[in-house]
Structure 1
Amino acid sequence: MAAVPEAAQRSLRRLSEPEWRSRSDAHCNRVSHWILPHRERRRRGVAHPVLDFLFTYYSLRPAQLERWHPGPGVVLRGPGAAAFLGQTGYRRHPDGVFLDLTGLPDRLRSTAGFIGALLTATAERAPRLGCFGLHEWAMVYRTPTPRHTAVPLRLGPAGTDAVVESLPVQCTHFDAFRFFTAAARPRNALTPRREDQLDLEQPGCLHANMDLYKWAYKLGPACPSELLADCFELAVAVRELDMRASPYDLADLGYPPVRIETPSGRAEYVRAQAGFAERAAPLRARLVELCRQISDVVPAR
């Protein structure tokens, strides 16, 4: 493998072992707030209709979320840094160990190119804030088997169907639309397809903002764990709104409903949705910059 150019070596930030271990411990402690209860629920065989989504729909395992990565531009000093050498992309540096972007697999550069293009296109659009979270309602519309069978529908089946029929359904996100019931699909203003993502995703969409977590972990060891955790925390908060505005009665679990069937509930939803769009914007920008760094690197041969 080619040597690291001297100019590139000088630009790297050096972290002493106490410094990077402190950051690693802080990251693990931060995400353990959600991981430890999840593991305990799994041990007891107890499902959680809100929070399990973060560990089942999204494919990153809890142990992977706990693992700390510094991201590019950092040299880890001290004998403990050698433990990183068995992981993809890490190599020795005269002062320790660092993540060498030139040594990442070609597939990761390709992934970064797609993610960067998608997030850039999303950021360039104005947020659309009038969906009212009806995607969750459309997933149970006119079906005897709701997705969360252990949780009651707040308005019952007939009341739930009536809400879907009384409001415009305008979901732009393929991975939400694909779970619509057959009866609900024709009611949507759009027919999103996987190949339409670059043309349709927009920053007001709850699922597009939750998915920043997915795009962060798909960038693998190149994504600093602090950024990954920021995206995960956003996904947790968005998921909570998503389910509070859903047709399910989750009050016993500590999630008071956002009653989108009422004008005041819809206004509450739009305010929260706009807040998440604002909160997601800098995270999206950080991911776009990381994708640019990965895509622009010439791979080592």
Structure 2
Amino acid sequence: MEQAGQAEQAERRDAGARPSGAPELPAGPAPRILPEPVWRAREAAHDARVAAWVDPHLRRRADNEAHPVMDFLFTYYSHRPARLRRWHPGVGVVLAGPAARERLAWRGYTGTADGVTLDRAEFTDARVRTAEFVRALLAATAGREPRLACFGLHEWAMVYRLGPEQVRHSARRLRLGPAGTDEVVQTQRIRCSHYDAYRFFTPDAEPLNTLRPTREAQIANEQPGCLHAGMDLYKWAYKLDPFVPSELIADCFALACEIRETDMRASPYDLAELGYAPIPIETAAGRAEYAAAQAEFARRGAPLRRRLVDVCDTLLAWAAG
């Protein structure tokens, strides 16, 4: 109890005066100083949480075993497993204790009189531009009502009129077969607003979309009911690594995992052998199930989106300070 009390006091105390030549810390409130036992516990908790996702992926990769659902989170998204496991506290925090000095070998950290902290000099102009874009995109998305009528048809449009050997997950059969899959695309209205889904449509499917998403119009088009916009919260979080608290990155990854499952359950692929029951969006009941899942993911993504906007605001103020 005494040690815990000392640690709590240490977290609250002012950073104090620094000797001449010590790196200047962010303007505003004094940084929090985390004693080594406190930040080590957070680091261990993060590693244990992330290991549940990373370790199975690494085992499959070592065995050359493809997974049509989970691989996407490690291949389409470029954040390496080792980076996902590495814990960072975010800005405005000083890590105290001898073990913190190891981080001086990591890019992004610098030493202070009280320990080790993220280095403002490493938050480059390119990082500032990224934070500005991410903030603008997420704030615009948060200000829109979720649209829930796309029914996951982007995955169907990605295989429209392709031969069996051309589809992305060729080891998995199409649940309705090629002809049945094409019929769904031809008879349903496709309303994909997400550029990074639309750009994978087959050439024959592109003109069937009611929208023409572009990279330039991404901020104008993104909406919170889109499953890919929800998964992309993970991307926008790790794009600012190591300056984003790793717990937030892990929270976004956890949501992305669940969304990805729904995304692929609603796809044309038969994944029952892997334990994924289909959401048959070719039926009224399946479309209703999908829309309900969209609404729930939009609700759960909203606080993560707000947290990321707040982090961007903090980072931009820190960089300007």
TM-score class, shorter = over 0.9
| Structure 2 equivalent of residue 24 of structure 1 | 43
Alpha-carbon deviation of 1:88?
3.0
Are the structure 2 counterparts of residues 143 and 85 from structure 1 closer, same or farther at C-alpha, using a change threshold of 3 Å?
Answer: same
| Structure 1 equivalent of residue 15 of structure 2 | none
Alignment deviations for residues 10-29 of structure 1 (CA, whole Å, 9 cap, x no partner): 62112111111111111111
Secondary structure of 1:220 counterpart: coil
Q: Is the 1:31–1:66 contact (alpha carbons within 8 Å) kept by the matching residues of 2?
A: yes
Alpha-carbon deviation of 1:210?
0.3
Q: Is the 1:155–1:247 contact (alpha carbons within 8 Å) kept by the matching residues of 2?
A: yes
Alignment deviations for residues 110-168 of structure 1 (CA, whole Å, 9 cap, x no partner): 11011111111111111000000000000011111211100000000111111111211
1:150 paired with 2:171, answer: yes
What does 1:1-301 align with in structure 2 at a 5 Å threshold?
A: 3-4=23-24, 8=28, 11-144=30-163, 145-298=166-319
Q: Is the 2:127–2:240 contact (alpha carbons within 8 Å) kept by the matching residues of 1?
A: yes
Q: Which amino acid aligns with 1:205?
A: C
Alpha-carbon deviation of 1:91?
1.8
Q: Which amino acid aligns with 1:194?
A: R
Q: Which amino acid aligns with 1:204?
A: G
Alpha-carbon deviation of 1:177?
0.2
Alpha-carbon deviation of 1:7?
6.6
Are the structure 2 counterparts of residues 298 and 228 from structure 1 closer, same or farther at C-alpha, using a change threshold of 3 Å?
Answer: closer
Q: Is the 1:213–1:231 contact (alpha carbons within 8 Å) kept by the matching residues of 2?
A: yes
**Which structure 1 residue ranges, 4+ long, deviate > 2 Å from structure 2?**
1-8, 86-89, 100-103, 296-300
User: Identity of counterpart residues, as a percentage?
Assistant: 59
Which has more radius of gyration? 2
Long gaps (5+) in structure 1 = none
| Structure 1 equivalent of residue 7 of structure 2 | none
Long gaps (5+) in structure 2 = 1-20
Q: Is the 1:129–1:205 contact (alpha carbons within 8 Å) kept by the matching residues of 2?
A: yes
Alpha-carbon deviation of 1:106?
1.7
Q: How far apart, CA to CA, are the structure 1 residues paired with 2:55 and 2:246?
A: 18
Q: Is the 1:71–1:221 contact (alpha carbons within 8 Å) kept by the matching residues of 2?
A: yes
Q: How far apart, CA to CA, are the structure 1 residues paired with 2:176 and 2:252?
A: 33
Q: Which amino acid aligns with 1:225?
A: S
Q: Is the 2:156–2:181 contact (alpha carbons within 8 Å) kept by the matching residues of 1?
A: yes
Q: How far apart, CA to CA, are the structure 2 residues paired with 1:199 and 1:239?
A: 24
Higher relative contact order (CA 8 A, sep 6+): 1
Structure 2 length normalisation: TM-score? 0.90
Secondary structure of 2:217 counterpart: helix
Alignment deviations for residues 22-77 of structure 1 (CA, whole Å, 9 cap, x no partner): 11111111011111111111111110000000010000110010000000121111
Q: Is the 1:81–1:97 contact (alpha carbons within 8 Å) kept by the matching residues of 2?
A: yes
Q: How many residues align?
A: 299
Q: How far apart, CA to CA, are the structure 1 residues paired with 2:199 and 2:231?
A: 16
Secondary structure of 2:110 counterpart: strand
Q: CA RMSD in A?
A: 1.6
